[in-house]
Chain A
Amino acid sequence: MFPSNISLSATALFLIGSGAWVFISYLRSLKAPAVGGQNQTLRYFAFFLLGIGVASSIWALGSFLVESNPTLAGFTYPLGLLCGGIGLAYFTRVGVNLVIPRYEKLIFWLFMVGNILSAAAGFIDPVVPSRTAAGVVVWNISYSRGINVMFIGAAITIFNLALFSLEALKVKSRILKIRAIVICGALIFYMGGGLAHNIVATPGQTILADITTAVGAALILIAVRLPQLARQLKLIKNE
């Protein structure tokens, strides 16, 4: 298997696994509603993970199609952006819901409309990816488009990180504080690596972006399973 296929598939599996775990937690909370609610925040977080998980799965699928059908593989780029953007809009909803709930719907729909419009532009003029001799998928994204996606994505990520970190600072439980820090770290790695794919120019840079993205996804899985992992490693007793 080619390096790009491995890293993209691993990223997708980590994220879908994390999203499924959080979504199951959400479904459980519906059966035995947590006193005081906040279930919607959990649902938004599950949709965020599933959104970026589906995006990574679509890009992984694209990496498998590069030789057999590069045109179809090219369409997986905007389709993945669309799904990832929907996921990211839900993450924004998590932060906004916790900090400024009054503006939750407005900001969410602004992000959704912006995301749909930018993805639509990607379908009109799709990229044609190719594979290098080393087995790395190069998406051949034009410089201007890459820069646009990179700046918009970075701005949204910084906004999300600011909101999430602001609330995370107030967390008192040690294990939950670590969980919040790991989620922030995961987002930096995943979004950093993911967005870098839009401006990389060489196979080496692409591999680095692939690895960074996969590390971010692995960190998300660790954050989601952190209490269980900590208990197994006997790092916490009964927190």
Chain B
Amino acid sequence: MTEIKTDPKNTYQELATVIVAKQASIIGEKLAFEKAWRVEGVRVDSKGRVVQLAEPQVETLGRLIDEYARLSGESAVKFSQQAVDSILQKNPDLPLPEQLKKGYSPMEHFLASF
């Protein structure tokens, strides 16, 4: 199997990779990778590194978190926030999906959407 290297300049791929890794440590590699493969626009190699995120990358990253949230709810969002924390400290102005913003609540997001 040809291994594709993660583009080190792509911060969104980095964020997605650490989210997949965090989920792998919680729900197991097999399920975490399977979930990521299901997300349209996300390509993950056999080691769990996200090698491609379709544009717009913010939305694709949001869909990846949603996929994990479908399995384990709000805890998946919280673990994703924890996983990306150090990367975001280096990139404070990076546009983010709603779930990665501070103080995100799924209920608040729902109630604000109509």
Contacts and interface: CB of A to CB of B under 8 A. Distances in A.
B107 interface: yes
B71 A22 contact: no
A29 interface: yes
Nearest to B99: A36
Given A35-B58, A36-B66, A37-B63, A101 B73 contact: yes
Contact of A45 (B71, B104, B110): B110
A42 interface: yes
Interface string B29-71: 0000000000000000000000000000011001101100111
Interface residues of A, number: 32
Interface string A164-184: 000110111100100110000
A29 B110 CA distance: 11
Contacts of A99: 73-74
A100 B111 contact: no
A32 to B, nearest CB: 10
A35 B69 CA distance: 14
B107 A180 contact: yes
A69 interface: no
A37 B62 contact: yes
B80 to A, nearest CB: 11
Nearest to A171: B108
A220 to B, nearest CB: 12
A108 interface: no
B11 interface: no
A224 B107 contact: no
A134 B108 CA distance: 46
A207 B114 CA distance: 32
Contacts of A25: 113-114
Given A36-B62, A36-B65, A38-B113, A170 B97 contact: no
Given A36-B98, A94-B110, A102-B70, 16 more contacts: A21-B114, A34-B109, A35-B59, A35-B97, A36-B62, A36-B104, A37-B63, A38-B110, A38-B113, A101-B71, A104-B70, A167-B105, A167-B107, A171-B108, A171-B111, A172-B105
Interface of B: 58-59, 62-63, 65-66, 69-74, 96-99, 103-114
15 contacts: A33-B59, A34-B109, A36-B98, A38-B113, A39-B113, A41-B113, A42-B110, A94-B110, A98-B107, A99-B74, A167-B105, A171-B111, A179-B111, A180-B107, A180-B111
Interface of A: 21-22, 25-26, 29, 33-39, 41-42, 45, 94, 98-102, 104, 167-168, 170-173, 176, 179-180, 224
